[in-house]
Every structure is written in structure tokens, then in C-alpha cells.
Structure 1
């Protein structure tokens, strides 16, 4: 397991009685209360909140029984994100043969990659837009990659938008807990907290991987070329 179990938080054994748990909680609550730790109130508040959370679960027989059945997975920090993954080989120059429009060239390889990303995102966009309640119909639209002859303005628009990429995938399929199994609303909140942590980590991983493509050296070269062309056009127009 990763983080502490609620028994470890309270410093009691898994077979501790309700009275032992209550007694230990009172001792730790007094010791860890923020008012007693003015030198580091932020840390004390965090510790005190965790103590309260642990006690609220272990002091209730039904919640404790549910917790005991699930604590092995409840405190596991690892998140296995398999679906919607992006091959990291695309971050290297080995994935294309030249800076051209040939079938295995830079522009074709990355055009296909970003088209594939959009194809994966597309089914999720409707629900994403609805949840975000976007006022701008273009908020969830991403420009196409283009090719070696794409207009300078379009190239810039592509990178400006994709560098702020945010996946529309909810990753709800990665939820560890089914909240319908919770014995009460308090446990529902605990389940939702853990599920949200997993979903947020998966979103962060996907966003970072997509954004890292735009930050890689090969794409910076493309931007430099187009910036140079743009400057030449500006000089000609003066």
C-alpha cells in the first residue's frame, strides 16, 4: 500500500475496539489541533483533518466493515492509465524519415498523429462542452496539423491552441469504486475523492504528453522556419 491506513493514522491496531479508537482519537486530536501548533498551522490542519476522517470511518461499525474490505486498494497510490495512451516514440525524431510531406516524413507522421488524437477526443466532446457550459462554440476545436505549405498564420494557430490542450475524456472507466456500493453518503464522498484523484491523474498524463509534442525540438524547428518566413513577408510588405 502507499499512504497510511486509517488505523496507522490513529496509531491503533486493526483489531482495536471502538472504545480504544475513541480514546486514541481524543489524545491525538488534542495534540494535533491547529490551535496547539501555531508554528505550523497549515500542516496541523492537514493532520487534524486526516484524523477526523479516519475517526469518522473507524468509529462507525458499518463504515469500518466496508473500509476493512477495501483498504488494500483504497490506499494504493498507483494509477494504471492504459486506455487512450499515446506512443511516446513520437517524441523522438526516429518516428519520421525527413522534414517533408512524404508518407513517412515529418508532416505526414504528425498530421496522422494529431488527427488520431482528435478522433479519440471527438466522441467525448459533446459531454465535455455540456459540462463546461462553454459560451464559445470554438472552445473545444483544435486546428489541423497541416503540411509543409501550410500558411504561417495557421501554423501559429495550431501551436497556440494545442499547447493549451485539455482532454475531453472523463476517464470515468478508471474509477476504482462504484459509489452505488457505499453504505452511506460519507463513504460515497470518500469513494468520489479517490475516483477523482485517479481521473485527474489520467487527464494530467494525457494533457502533458500531448503538450510535450509541441514543446519538442522538432516542432520548435518548424516554428522557427515559419517565424523566419513570417518576418520576411513583413519586410517585403514594408
Structure 2
């Protein structure tokens, strides 16, 4: 399993993914699930993957081959992020249908993708692409998407995150979401991959890999736990009828 989260804020895009692939309690591996493409000064693209590893690697492999062989259309030839989402969605659907003709069996090969980025002076976009090839886009009302093991980190994002939130606060919010997930689900694991893209920069960043011993992440985790304990102590005491 995995956990990936993408945020589309007013001033930035934030992407965080874990790296654990679990094929059983005795078969745990580390695989990157956050991929970056782009042309410096012209377009920035990030893809996050969750689900069947063979399917996700096939999709990324095809996208890279199309770029190398200049097969049209490709990530660098489309004119809008919407066209890019269509391209990636169609490719994902084709990879799955090429594996088997059995509609029920296809679910064994499903994966989900988050696609985000910016082309030129167009608006930043973030898409959640489903195994069937269709997709939805993030909005100001719903500025984030999760794929994979999302339930443990979702309450934090729902309560705290907003489209207008400053970059540093949003990054903290997202990392706390991951810390909560890591504590509650062994199928999600370190290291984490983080990429922050600032609006209109069109800069291609390799991002940051966060390891278990990372001092900032360890401090964030500890202080979040301390804050929760303190907050619990400061909440109103239940009245007698709650404790009968």
C-alpha cells in the first residue's frame, strides 16, 4: 500500500509520497512513487502513483519512451494541463486493458495517479486520475487529493487546510498528515519524497527525501504529539451524565 497527497494552493503546489511497497509481511521494498518531468522555464509536471506497482511503472515507462522517441502527443507537446490529464488517463486505461480482457480481473491491476503542474502562464492544476482513465480537478473548495491509504491523514487536512494557507503552514499540515498515517498503518513507510512548486516559477525541482532520522520531521512529530496531549487536557471536562 502507499499514501500520496497533492495540494493545489493559491501560491504553490505541494506533493508528498511515501516509498513503501508491501507484498506481504516478509516482503517490504522501497520504490519511488513521485516522478517529476518538465522543461525549465516552460513547464513543470509531477505524477504520484498508488496501486499495482507493475501498472504504475508501465505508465511512467511509456511516458518516458514517448518523450525519448518524440511520439506525439507527449508530456512536452500538449498545450494545457487538461490535455495532459487526458493523455495520462488514456495511457493508464490502455496499460490496464492490455493486461487482461476480463473486466473483473482488471481490478487486480488498478492504480490511481495524481497529476499536477503548470504550463507557461496558465493556471496551476492538480488532477486525480482514476484507473478507468477519467479524472477530476482540485478546486479552491477542495484544494487537495489523496490516493492510497488516506483515511488516517484525512481528518487533519479537512480540519486545517485551506486554499489560501501560506506555504510553510500547508507543508506542516501535510507532513503531520503523513506522521499520523505512519503511526497508524504499517503499510505506509519512510522515507518520504517531498516536492514544493512555487506558482509561476516553472522550476524543475528534484525535491527532498525525508528519512526516519530527519531532525525536522522528528521534531515535528514529537511536538505534534505533545500538542495533542496538551490540547486533550485543556478540553472541557465531560459532565457527570457522560460518565455514568
Question: TM-score, normalized by length of structure 1?
Answer: 0.22
Bigger fraction of residues in helix? 1
Question: TM-score, normalized by length of structure 2?
Answer: 0.22
Name the larger-Rg structure.
1
Bigger fraction of residues in strand? 2
